[in-house]
Amino acid sequence: MSVHACLLRLHRRFQNLDSNKKGYLSRVDLQQIGALAVNPLGDRIIDSFFPEGNLRVDFPGFVRVLAHFRPVDDEGTRTRGPDEPEPFNSRMNKLRFAFQLYDLDRDGKISQQEMLQVLRLMVGVQVTEEQLESIADRTVQEADDDGDGAVSFLEFAKSLEKMDIEQKMSIRILK
């Protein structure tokens, strides 16, 4: 599909979601996206459409966030020019996007508490709080190379190195 056709399709999608033809989307509009409604991290993903307390997202903003979820098809088959920006769906951008889903207070590190909160969203009720805490501890410890008790972006990227994040947009770092 050409970039142009893809944009047209996205624009139609945008218009469909824009319930009263406001020209922008609100949280409520985005909550209509089925895939987000069933995703335990759906709310956090929706947050990423609204940086810095914005209440609306326009079409360019919508495309920018959705680009993170597009499959990487031609990575490595072509070299980027030095002035060309990194494509939004590159591996590094996907990792950054996933990282900020965990980093709830946006201080650049995933603390054990943040890990715990995300795990709570992802796993069902059949896991006890105690088990969750020990999973969160272990997950942070395994990724924490410099021993400061939290996971930096680099540590996060490293711990996900072997995962096929392009395929899954995988946001869990549990094995």
Question: Residues interacting with Ca ion, by CB under 5 A?
Answer: 103, 105, 107, 109, 144, 146, 148
Closest approach, Cβ 99 to Ca ion, in A, equals: 10
Q: Residue 73 or residue 161: which is nearer to Ca ion going by CB?
A: 161
Residue 34 CB-half CA count within 13 A: 1
Q: Decide: 146 and 109 in contact? Cβ < 8 Å.
A: no
Q: Decide: 95 and 160 in contact? Cβ < 8 Å.
A: yes
Closest approach, Cβ 11 to Ca ion, in A, equals: 35
Q: Which of 98, 173, 97, 94 is nearest to 136 (CA)?
A: 173
Q: Residue 75 or residue 105: which is nearer to Ca ion going by CB?
A: 105
Rounded to whole angstroms, the Cα distance separating 126 from 112 reads: 21
Closest approach, Cβ 134 to Ca ion, in A, equals: 19
Q: Residue 25 or residue 150: which is nearer to Ca ion going by CB?
A: 150
Q: What is the per-residue DSSP string for 23-43? A: SSB-HHHHTT-HHHHSSTTHH
Q: Residue 89 or residue 152: which is nearer to Ca ion going by CB?
A: 152
Closest approach, Cβ 25 to Ca ion, in A, equals: 27
